Amino acid sequence: MASSNTVLMRLVASAYSIAQKAGMIVRRVIAEGDLGIVEKTCATDLQTKADRLVQMSICSSLARKFPKLTIIGEELVVWVDPLDGTKEYTEGLLDNVTVLIGIAYEGKAIAGIINQPYYNYEAGPDAVLGRTIWGVLGLGAFGFQLKEVPAGKHIITTTRSHSNKLVTDCVTAMNPDDVLRVGGAGNKIIQLIEGKASAYVFASPGCKKWDTCAPEVILHAVGGKLTDIHGNVLQYHKDVKHMNSAGVLATLRNYDYYASRVPESVKNALVP
């Protein structure tokens, strides 16, 4: 166990450093002015030069330092999203963008790093850009100030660019006081832990394990909860289906309230 913990903390420390470097790459691509945008599957599913460069940087760095991501014969998996919120990145909504590195052990998300390359970008030309949030289950989460939405307020954060009837029906069922439509799973979890939203509701297939692994750890480390729309815990072992086909429901507090309001019609339409 001691050996496993040592390797985990080495991996977290390396991922933290790598995530900061990734944030610099994301900012550099914007500054150079050529995003190198290509469509992957449709007009809302984009890839940029930053995606490709960050993916290469993260993978090569981890491969050099940890050529065998295995601990005592048991499974350790790293889930990477080099640019979460790519569409928003191409449209200049830079505070939506994050770099995600999640670490799972025996299928459970146990450590996560979120780099927000353009944090503080609206504070003026002399502002220091970027921050890195990180967390380990059982240790805590760091790099931000934990806040909660005022009691009695129900503020939902959900997708900006991938909405449909299921998403709309589920959000409406929450009887929200306000709805925030933003990009990036990492960004939405940051909204939860910084008191801007009460629940992240995405009743649709779309986001993948690399979108949720790191953010889930940060949320769980401060007492929150992330599941699919049915309330099932997400699995992150190496052979798991990449798509979160039954959507995402996440809250910092009062998970049961939001879970109880998910319509049966939505649950029936989303197969885990």
Q: Is 137 annotated as a binding residue?
A: no
Task: Specify whether 45 is catalytic.
Answer: no
Q: Is 178 annotated as a binding residue?
A: no
CA atoms within 13 A on the CB side of 155: 19
| Residue 145 to residue 97: CA distance in whole angstroms | 19
Query: What is the residue whose two structure tokens read 């940890």?
Result: 66
Could you tell me how far CA 106 lies from the centroid of its own chain? Answer: 20
Which residues, 6+ apart, have CB-to-CB distance to 61 below 8 Å? 14, 18, 21
Q: By C-alpha distance, which of 136, 131, 109 is closest to 216?
A: 109
Beta strand pairing call for 178-182 and 98-105: unpaired
Q: Is 211 annotated as a binding residue?
A: yes
| Residue 109 to residue 102: CA distance in whole angstroms | 7
Task: Specify whether 157 is catalytic.
Answer: no
The one catalytic residue in 86, 159, 212, 227 is: 86
| Residue 67 to residue 46: CA distance in whole angstroms | 30
Bridge partners of 123, per DSSP, are none
The one catalytic residue in 51, 159, 212, 251 is: 51
Q: Is 81 annotated as a binding residue?
A: yes
Q: Which helix (H) or strand (E) holds 250?
A: strand 248-251
Report, as residue numbers or ranges, the catalytic residues.
Answer: 51, 86
Query: Which residues are known binding-site members?
Result: 74, 81, 83-84, 211
Query: Which residues are known binding-site members for Mg(2+)?
Result: 74, 81, 83-84, 211
